[in-house]
């Protein structure tokens, strides 16, 4: 029987070079999606899945992230004096969400290195990793089925999604085996960002993982790989190959997900989420309609 999951690790220390110059002085995880920074959606998703102990791995721009999940007394009293309870709630909500902890990565030496920085906090417990720039639509559950599969198999579970075959070089790509459990599969192999002609499938690793603590020992000895970074994918491949701590399972997610570190995906996330909002949706829909006719 594996231990209960309570801890979430959110790496947010990458350089965000695809989004320069916006990310020159601000982490990409703080870019607003409608009116909330991307990272808040991710923390809310962790909390919805009972992962209330959140460790964020931060980089040189740590202040904005820490401040967002803290109280701002002067702003709160100004809103209180105005009697603006609605806005007051939006401001205090992020501070009350979870039990937040922070650790710095130092140099951004890759996702595997960022995850290794959580070892002291997590100890000998299973934990979830949610990438801070990877946003899953609230209407589609990814962590729920992963946590259930982890409880059933007592082993690591990673999230997968189908991507267009010509985009495999943007992702870690998996070779999987059907185990007769529908969207839960066994991972046979993983390769980081293969060229389309070398890709073993079009099943890409997305930014949600439920990891057994055995991953730490593997990461300690994982050499820098693609891009000279310590890759989490490389450590997971070893875990799968050598069947360490029960090997690796995958959950094939078929819902909506946005990489907010990518400009086009970021814009799609804003439009999709704004369209479902009562205060913005109807007017935006009308405007999009007019705009698309105007461009024809």
Tally of residues, the chain: 296
Exactly one of 2, 6, 15, 141 binds ligand UTP (CB under 6 A); that residue is 15
When asked if residue 292 is in the footprint of ligand UTP (CB under 6 A), the reply is no
Give the nearer residue to ligand UTP in terms of CB position, either 89 or 107: 107
* Least distance in angstroms from the C-beta of 177 to ligand UTP: 27
- Alpha carbon 86 to its chain centroid, in Å, reads 28
Q: Which residues ranging from 20 to 59 are in contact with ligand UTP (CB under 6 A)?
A: 57
Of 115, 103, 138, 132, the closest CA to residue 23 belongs to 132
Residues 6+ apart with CB under 8 A from 159: 142, 146, 205, 206, 207, 208, 209, 250, 251, 253
Exactly one of 49, 61, 105, 231 binds ligand UTP (CB under 6 A); that residue is 105
Exactly one of 33, 56, 118, 133 binds ligand UTP (CB under 6 A); that residue is 133
When asked if residue 132 is in the footprint of ligand UTP (CB under 6 A), the reply is yes
Binding string, residues 233-272; x marks residues near ligand UTP by CB under 6 A: ----------------------------x-----------
* Least distance in angstroms from the C-beta of 21 to ligand UTP: 12
DSSP string across 16-83: -GGGTTTTSSS-GGGSEETTEEHHHHHHHHHHHTT--EEEEEE-TTHHHHHHHTS--HHHHHHHHHHT
* Least distance in angstroms from the C-beta of 11 to ligand UTP: 3
Which residue reads 């970074």 in tokens? 229
- Alpha carbon 134 to its chain centroid, in Å, reads 4
Of 48, 277, 20, 39, the closest CA to residue 141 belongs to 48
Among the residue ranges 9-17, 93-101, 166-174, 196-204, the one whose residues contact ligand UTP (CB under 6 A): 9-17
When asked if residue 13 is in the footprint of ligand UTP (CB under 6 A), the reply is yes
Which residue reads 């990518």 in tokens? 262
Binding site for ligand UTP (CB under 6 A): 11-19, 57, 105, 108-111, 113-114, 131-133, 261
């Amino acid at each position: 029987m594996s231990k209960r999951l309570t801890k979430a690790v959110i790496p947010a220390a990458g350089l965000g070079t695809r989004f320069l110059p916006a990310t020159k002085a601000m982490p990409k995880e703080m870019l607003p999606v409608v009116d909330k920074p991307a990272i808040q959606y991710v923390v809310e998703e962790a909390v919805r899945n009972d992962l209330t102990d959140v460790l964020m791995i931060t980089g040189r721009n740590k202040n904005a992230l820490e401040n967002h999940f803290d109280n701002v007394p002067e702003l709160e009293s100004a809103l209180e004096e105005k009697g603006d309870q609605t806005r007051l709630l939006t401001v205090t909500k992020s501070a009350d969400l979870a039990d937040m902890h922070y650790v710095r990565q130092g140099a951004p030496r890759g996702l595997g290195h960022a995850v290794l920085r959580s070892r002291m906090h997590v100890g000998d417990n299973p934990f979830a990793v949610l990438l801070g720039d990877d946003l899953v639509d609230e209407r589609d559950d990814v962590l729920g089925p992963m946590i259930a599969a982890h409880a059933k198999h007592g082993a690591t579970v990673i999230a997968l999604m189908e991507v267009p075959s010509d985009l495999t070089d943007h992702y870690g790509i998996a070779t999987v085996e059907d185990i007769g459990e529908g969207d839960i599969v066994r991972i046979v192999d993983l390769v980081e960002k293969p060229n389309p002609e070398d890709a073993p499938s079009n099943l890409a690793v997305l930014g949600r993982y439920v990891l057994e603590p055995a991953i730490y020992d593997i990461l300690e000895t994982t050499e820098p790989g693609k891009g000279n970074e310590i890759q989490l994918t490389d450590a997971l491949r070893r875990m799968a190959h050598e069947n360490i701590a029960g090997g690796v399972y995958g959950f094939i997610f078929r819902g909506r997900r946005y990489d907010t570190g990518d400009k086009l995906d970021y814009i799609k996330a804003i439009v999709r989420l704004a369209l479902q909002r009562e205060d913005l949706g109807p007017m935006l829909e009308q405007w999009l309609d007019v705009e698309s006719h105007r461009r024809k």
